[in-house]
Amino acid sequence: MSKKMPAAVVALRPRAKEDFSNYLGMVMMLGSWSILFGGIFFAYAGVRMSAPTWPPPGLPKLPLALPAANTVILGLSSWTAQRALGAIRKGRRDEMQALLGATVVLGALFLGLQYVLWTNVRASGLSIDSAGTYGSVFYALTIFHALHVAAGVCGVSYLVVGARFGKWNAAAHAPVRMWTMFWHFVDAVWLVTFVSVFVL
């Protein structure tokens, strides 16, 4: 005699399939963005390897303190995003909402400091058309990345609003997982940017 499956298990099966499809779609999308960023990094490496001196003569060295602070900020925001995902998996919606709110604030702080960085770098003599491709590649990397952070801030803000209306719970939180993956992605890209552009 066959046992009847619990209704809750049956109800979760379609959601599990949909969640996996969303996860796979996000992995593919992040993979395509990785290729885009990889192209910019290769262009930057080509410019740098072909230059006899770095930075090119007449241009100031890029600052380190402000990008380092932004690295810490993004790293902390990635931690709060991951903690938020862990919280909703355990059904702690209020904790998730607070942690995602902190992620939004940290992301906005990162963008504000990036604006300060661009202003300072431009004031020191490095514009987008400085020394051929040197300035354009630097600004392309940092601005393109900042646009992704801004998209992440909007996405996580949507999660915070949804949490206020009780939209996410332990059984249904796929968007939280997707945006957490995206946030880790922009964090990882910035780490590569910081090391390759500002440190090396």
Q: What is the pLDDT of residues 84-97, one digit of tens each?
A: 999 999 999 999 99
Cβ contacts of residue 51 below 8 Å, gap of 6+? 134
Domain assignment of residue 38, given as a range: 17-53+64-199
Contact between 100 and 160 under an 8 Å Cβ cutoff? The reply is yes
Q: Other CB atoms closer than 10 Å to residue 67's CB: what's the count?
A: 20
Is residue 80 included in any domain, yes or no? Answer: yes
Percent of the chain's residues with pLDDT above 90: 49
Contact between 144 and 42 under an 8 Å Cβ cutoff? The reply is no
Is residue 6 included in any domain, yes or no? Answer: no
Which amino acid type is present at position 106?
L
Burial class (CB in 10 A: 0-12, 13-18, 19+), 65: exposed
pLDDT in tens, 103-119: 999 999 999 999 999 99
pLDDT score of 5: 45
pTM: 0.84
Is residue 145 included in any domain, yes or no? Answer: yes
Q: What is the CATH number of the domain that holds 68?
A: 1.20.120.80
Is residue 41 included in any domain, yes or no? Answer: yes
Is residue 59 included in any domain, yes or no? Answer: no
Is residue 2 included in any domain, yes or no? Answer: no
Q: State the pLDDT confidence band at 155, using cuts at 50, 70 and 90.
A: very high
Is residue 4 included in any domain, yes or no? Answer: no
Written in H, E and C, the secondary structure of 100-147 is HHHHHHHHHHHHHHHHHHHHHHHHCCCCCCCCCHHHHHHHHHHHHHHH
The secondary structure of the chain in percent helix, strand, coil, rounded to multiples of 5, reads: 80, 0, 20
Is residue 9 included in any domain, yes or no? Answer: no
Give the chain's domain count: 1
Q: State the average pLDDT over residues 142-147.
A: 93
